[in-house]
Amino acid sequence: MSDFEDMLAHTTPEQLAGDPIARKAFSVAMLASDFYLPVEENEKKQADKSGISLQAVVVNNTPHVVIFSSEERMNAFAPSGTRFARANGGSFFPSLMGHHAILNPGPAGLVFTPEDIAEILGKDFTPPHQGCGAPGHVHGPGCQH
């Protein structure tokens, strides 16, 4: 069991929500740990796109990128033969900015909002402007609303 897996086993969502020191320690551990990320494409498609697309699941009508803290956890959730990437949290978490994610889907899974991901990265999160709803309107610097 990795140090991060041990931390997961002894940390509750309530602790993370109510203790800023525990939340910061958890963030640091996430950025320093390796994760298993199921991917959509085969090797040829990845090479053609010069990158990968991570698998997502829909939670409350919102896609959440799926990440796992161990290969065993991934294998328990994902179908046999699922292609995956193994990556350090510090290398892929920046690509999650503005997205939702779920760590170890299931009853003990942790859901991350875009705000949570920004906090893990030590950044401010500014939600995208939703617009005024006027057809064809593009917000610019002179916009008054």
Asked if residue 143 belongs to a domain, the reply is no
Asked if residue 132 belongs to a domain, the reply is no
The CATH code of the domain that includes 87 is 3.40.1350.90
Q: What is the chain's pLDDT, residue by residue, as a tens digit (145 residues)? A: 688 888 888 888 888 888 889 889 999 999 999 999 998 766 666 566 666 788 888 988 999 999 999 999 999 998 888 889 899 999 999 999 999 999 999 888 899 999 999 999 999 877 655 555 544 545 455 555 5
Asked if residue 128 belongs to a domain, the reply is no
Asked if residue 61 belongs to a domain, the reply is yes
Position 129 scores a pLDDT of 53
Asked if residue 135 belongs to a domain, the reply is no
Phi, psi of 80 (to 5 degrees): -55, 140
CB proximity list for 52: less than 8 A, separation 6 or greater:
37, 39, 40, 41, 46, 85
Asked if residue 49 belongs to a domain, the reply is yes
Per the structure, how many domains does the chain have?
1
Position 137 scores a pLDDT of 47
Q: What is the pTM of this model?
A: 0.78
Asked if residue 80 belongs to a domain, the reply is yes
Position 66 scores a pLDDT of 94
Closest Cα partner for 112 from 141, 50, 69? 69
Range of the domain at 58: 3-120
